[in-house]
Amino acid sequence: SRSAFASFLFAPLFFQLYEPRVPTPGTERFRCKVHMKSFLGVFRSLPSLEKSVGKCLILLKPRASRLVLQLHCKYGVTKTHNLAFQECEELQAVFDTQRCSSHLCAPARVLAEAVVHFPLTLAEVTLGTGPGGKISLRNYVEDEAEPSKTMVTELWLAEDEFQSVAVSPGSRITFCLKEFRGLLTFAEASNLPLTIHFDEPGRPVVFTLDDTVLEVHLVLATLSNLESDSQPPLTNGVSHLPAPSDDFPDDLESYMVALETSTSEGGPPSPTFPLRTPQPPPSDPEEEDEEDEEGAVPGTPPHKKFRSLFFGSVLTPGGPGLAPTQEVLAEDSDGEC
Amino acid sequence: MRFRAKIVDLACLNHFSRVINTIAKLAKTCTLRLTVWKLYFILSDKVANGGASMWCELCQGNFFDEFQMEGVAAEHNEIYLELVPENLSRALKTAQNAKAVKIKLTNKHCPCLRVAVELPSLSSSSRIVTHDIPVRVIPRRIWNDFREPRVPDFDVSIYLPVLKTMKSVVERMKNLSNFIVIEANLSGEMNLKIETDLVSVTTHFKDLRNPPWVSEDACQSSAQDRDLESMAEARIDIKKLQQLLAGQQVNPTKALCNIVSKRIVHFILLHEDVSLQYFIPALA
């Protein structure tokens, strides 16, 4: 669905031994892909691996089209796994975190403790910036779900819980929580602070973990403005108090009067207050064209609302030449169609 | 019409969460009735519930440190709300080490119960998580639908066996059949039976005691002149029984059931500060 990209870059120093393949002159760097399931199968039970495996050797055998994973275990036991690989094009989402208008950095633990309040089945979450440097997280309610029937959970993180906060206030992005949780699990385990770079709704959000020998990037598409505007407004969008205030109208007197004087026989209708303000039609013709062109890209649930034009297609060799009507958010360096 | 309440004590909070978890297992949607002294979770016997009904009563003073309720009108000082108890259960799930939990009835876009959980955090201010649970306010004219059910004119009343044992028996029986027969007599004997084309299984419990009901106006006569060995039985949906037993996270102080032969089984589970009654109708 082209709405997410992750990369884990290990520097040679991460490894005890690193012998790169000497490339044949005139050829490009070697790139291949293997089945995730096969690869993960080799490292299935981490606790038992830690007890029994002394070292792990990773070898590329290009002529046999095999990636060899060899586990050297205790008592002279060696387990060799030969995984078939496929050569493939380079897949690299091009993004520039410098161009993002907002940056947040926090220990992974803080964010992990925040997302625990959302159910595991929740698909998308909205991150927002509020007054006083506070950062909010809220579950995203899909348009199809009835707003008067869905529970809304929201929490606020204080500025001092972050290692750095450089955000434009009043900004809000919605992205896939499931993928974010995955990265958080890794970040917590490796005890690395997590940096979030984001911009306007619709532009991808970039999560990075930095270490001396490891560089991790997770890039997720975000909901564009047209859809995210239909959400109930953030509770403290206009409030002066940073914490959820107590002055919400809790007197339902007028509501009760309306209820009691309702003339319908079978009881009052469910109290649904219209939450959506009528949306002006998208005035930007470019955006409309893109939505039509991409059409229904089969994939994970958020696809139809997220900007699926994540990887631009490169038609002319020798560089990213783009058709003028396309707006590409993150270009790739080769065509991967 | 206003409602605000606050729980500060962790033990009270855990206890309240457990009650809500039990209710959530029994009903997808139910009615919450708020009065000055008590809270009630009510499920009335509609066809949609398979005819089962529930009445759960708590004394608010045993759970809440603060409790303010202003009902619909002075002479009807109560509030009836329809809600999904699973939402409340989820909101309280991650509040286990909270400093305080506040519940408030609000009407921002639509009536909601706002649960605000104040959690300890390393920053200078506490972490506050709010959950807005949508509710439907039930108008006064249909409050009559939610009256306390009467204790039926039962044939046999008997204390239940240890719930854990009963639960594991019922869970295994559930794999074999959709219906279960509960039968009991006034000699402290109870049988749980299932019967299918291939197999019939009966589990026998004895030496359970029979509660001594004090008849208010000699209306329990059907039980008084009864042959002590004679079994009263009812065939009920096994899933409902399993849900009731699965929802019991703590052993009740008293657990008993009243059987009206071939009509209904009335379960009563009493804890120190919570009472739960569950009615399962008998099927043909």
Of B92, B127, B135, B138, which to mutate for an interface test with A (greatest number of A Cβ within 10 Å)? B127
Q: Which residues contact A324 (CB under 8 A, 6 or more apart)?
A: none
Question: What confidence tier does B140 reach under pLDDT thresholds 50, 70, 90?
Answer: very high
The packing angle between helices A177-190 and A108-115, to 10°, is 140
pLDDT of A237 above 70: no
Residues A115 and A187: their CA atoms lie apart, in Å, by 14
- Last residue of some domain: A87, A109, A134? A87
Residue B82 touches partner A, C-beta closer than 8 Å = no
CA of A252: which chain B residue's CA is closest?
A: B1
Q: Do A255 and B91 touch (CB under 8 A)?
A: no
Q: Which of B2, B72, B134 sits opposite A150 (nearest CB)?
A: B134
Q: Is residue A271 part of a domain?
A: no
Question: What confidence tier does B182 reach under pLDDT thresholds 50, 70, 90?
Answer: very high
Of B4, B79, B81, B108, which to mutate for an interface test with A (greatest number of A Cβ within 10 Å)? B108
Asked if residue A111 and residue A160 are part of one domain, the reply reads: yes
Q: Do A157 and B128 touch (CB under 8 A)?
A: no
CA of A158: which chain B residue's CA is closest?
A: B123
Question: What confidence tier does A293 reach under pLDDT thresholds 50, 70, 90?
Answer: very low
Residues B33 and A65: their CA atoms lie apart, in Å, by 69
Q: Which residues contact A75 (CB under 8 A, 6 or more apart)?
A: none
Asked if residue A209 and residue A103 are part of one domain, the reply reads: yes
Residues A58 and A51: their CA atoms lie apart, in Å, by 19
Of A238, A252, A260, A262, which to mutate for an interface test with B (greatest number of B Cβ within 10 Å)? A252
Query: What number is the average pLDDT over the span A303-307?
Result: 42
Asked if residue A59 and residue A81 are part of one domain, the reply reads: yes
Q: Which two tokens stand for residue A98?
A: 């410098």
Asked if residue A105 and residue A162 are part of one domain, the reply reads: yes
Q: Do B108 and A267 touch (CB under 8 A)?
A: no
Give the burial string for B159-186 (b: 16+ CB within 10 Å, else e): bbbebeebbebbeebeeebebbbbbbbb
Q: What is the pLDDT of residues A87-130, one digit of tens each?
A: 888 777 777 888 888 999 999 999 999 999 999 999 999 999 98
Q: Which residues contact A60 (CB under 8 A, 6 or more apart)?
A: A21, A30, A32, A67, A68
DSSP H or E segment with residue A173 = strand A172-176
The answer regarding whether domain B156-217+227-281 maps to CATH 3.70.10.10 reads yes
Q: Coil, strand, or helix at residue B100? A: strand
Q: Which pLDDT score is estimated for A146?
A: 76
pLDDT of A289 above 60: no
Residues A326 and A286: their CA atoms lie apart, in Å, by 7
Q: Which pLDDT score is estimated for A267?
A: 38
Domain extent for A83: 11-87
Q: What is the pLDDT of residues A154-203, one digit of tens each?
A: 999 988 899 999 998 888 999 999 999 999 999 999 888 999 999 999 89
- Last residue of some domain: A87, A109, A127? A87
Q: Which of B2, B84, B110 sits opposite A271 (nearest CB)?
A: B110
**What is the number of CB-based contacts under 8 A between chain A and chain B?**
108
From B252's Cα to the closest Cα of chain A, the distance in A is: 30
Asked if residue A218 and residue A190 are part of one domain, the reply reads: yes
Instruction: Give me the phi and psi of A47, to 5 degrees please.
Output: -60, -40
User: Which CATH class name applies to B2-145?
Assistant: alpha beta
Question: What confidence tier does A308 reach under pLDDT thresholds 50, 70, 90?
Answer: very low
Q: Which two tokens stand for residue B111?
A: 């009536």
Q: Based on the structure, what is the number of domains in chain A? A: 2
Residues A42 and A27: their CA atoms lie apart, in Å, by 31
Residues B238 and B177: their CA atoms lie apart, in Å, by 8
Q: Is residue A132 part of a domain?
A: yes
Chain A residues near any Cβ of chain B (below 8 Å): 110, 113-114, 116-117, 119, 147-158, 160-161, 232, 235, 242-244, 246, 248-253, 255-256, 259-260, 262, 267-268, 270-273, 275
Q: Is residue A92 part of a domain?
A: no
Asked if residue A117 and residue A74 are part of one domain, the reply reads: no
Nearest in space to B16 (alpha carbons), one of B104, B105, B125, B89:
B89
Q: Is residue A122 part of a domain?
A: yes
List chain A residues with CB under 8 Å of B107. Answer: 248-252, 255
Give the burial string for A115-149 (b: 16+ CB within 10 Å, else e): bebbeeebebbbbbbbeebbbbbbbbbeeeeebbe
Alpha-carbon separation of residue B173 from A170, B62, B167, B184, B241 (angstroms): 57, 37, 10, 18, 11
Query: Counting Cβ atoms within 10 Å, is residue A332 exposed (0-12), middle (13-18) or buried (19+)?
Result: buried
Q: Do A160 and B124 touch (CB under 8 A)?
A: yes
Q: Interior CA angle at A199 toward A195 and A202, to 5°?
A: 120
The most distant pair of C-alpha atoms in chain A lies apart, rounded to whole Å, by 86
Q: Do B104 and A156 touch (CB under 8 A)?
A: no
Identity (one letter) of the amino acid at B2?
R
Q: Is residue A200 part of a domain?
A: yes
User: How is residue A211 annotated by DSSP?
Assistant: -
Q: Do B105 and A250 touch (CB under 8 A)?
A: yes
Q: Are strands B156-159 and B179-184 parallel, antiparallel or unpaired?
A: unpaired
Q: Is A19 left (phi over 0), alpha (psi -120 to 50) or beta?
A: beta
List chain A residues with CB under 8 Å of B90. Answer: 119, 151
pLDDT of A319 above 50: no
Q: What is the pLDDT of residues A175-189, one digit of tens each?
A: 999 999 999 999 999
Q: Do B94 and A117 touch (CB under 8 A)?
A: yes
| ipTM metric | 0.86
- Which is it for the CA torsion A317, A321, A323, A327, positive or negative? positive
The most distant pair of C-alpha atoms in chain B lies apart, rounded to whole Å, by 71
Q: Percent of chain B beyond pLDDT 70?
A: 95
Q: Where in chain B is the domain with CATH 3.70.10.10?
A: 2-145, 156-217+227-281
Residues A184 and A152: their CA atoms lie apart, in Å, by 22
Q: Is residue A245 part of a domain?
A: no
Asked if residue A201 and residue A119 are part of one domain, the reply reads: yes
Q: Is residue A251 part of a domain?
A: no
DSSP H or E segment with residue B279 = strand B274-281
- What are A205's strand-pairing partners? A220
Q: Percent of chain B beyond pLDDT 90?
A: 79
Contact between A164 and A105 under an 8 Å Cβ cutoff? The reply is: yes
List chain A residues with CB under 8 Å of B137. Answer: 252, 255-256, 259, 271
Residue B110 touches partner A, C-beta closer than 8 Å = yes
From B2's Cα to the closest Cα of chain A, the distance in A is: 5
Asked if residue A206 and residue A166 are part of one domain, the reply reads: yes
List chain B residues with CB under 8 Å of A233. Answer: none
List chain B residues with CB under 8 Å of A236. Answer: none
Instruction: Give me the phi and psi of B12, to 5 degrees please.
Output: -65, -40
Residue B108 touches partner A, C-beta closer than 8 Å = yes
- What are B31's strand-pairing partners? B42, B82
Residue B100 touches partner A, C-beta closer than 8 Å = no
Q: Which of B110, B116, B129 sits opposite A117 (nearest CB)?
A: B129
With tokens 């403790």, the residue in question is A113
Asked if residue A124 and residue A22 are part of one domain, the reply reads: no
Whether the model clears a pTM of 0.80, i.e. scores above it, the answer is: no
DSSP state string for A30-76: P-EE--HHHHHHHT--HHHHHHHEEEEEEEEETTTTEEEEEEEEGGG
CA of B87: which chain A residue's CA is closest?
A: A151
Q: Which pLDDT score is estimated for A62?
A: 80
Of A153, A231, A246, A262, which to mutate for an interface test with B (greatest number of B Cβ within 10 Å)? A153
Ranking A124-133, A278-287, B141-150, B217-226 by mean pLDDT, the lowest is A278-287
List chain B residues with CB under 8 Å of A267. Answer: 139, 142
Contact between A182 and A209 under an 8 Å Cβ cutoff? The reply is: no
- Which is it for the CA torsion B104, B107, B108, B109, positive or negative? positive
Q: Is residue A336 part of a domain?
A: no
Average model confidence (pLDDT) across chain B: 91
Instruction: Give me the phi and psi of B280, to 5 degrees please.
Output: -120, 120
Asked if residue A104 and residue A17 are part of one domain, the reply reads: no
Q: Do B2 and A244 touch (CB under 8 A)?
A: no
Asked if residue A77 and residue A102 are part of one domain, the reply reads: no
Q: Which of B105, B109, B141 sits opposite A252 (nearest CB)?
A: B105
Residue B120 touches partner A, C-beta closer than 8 Å = no
Nearest in space to A261 (alpha carbons), one of B32, B141, B1, B76:
B141
Supply the CATH number for residue A201's domain: 3.70.10.10
Of A118, A151, A159, A253, which to mutate for an interface test with B (greatest number of B Cβ within 10 Å)? A151
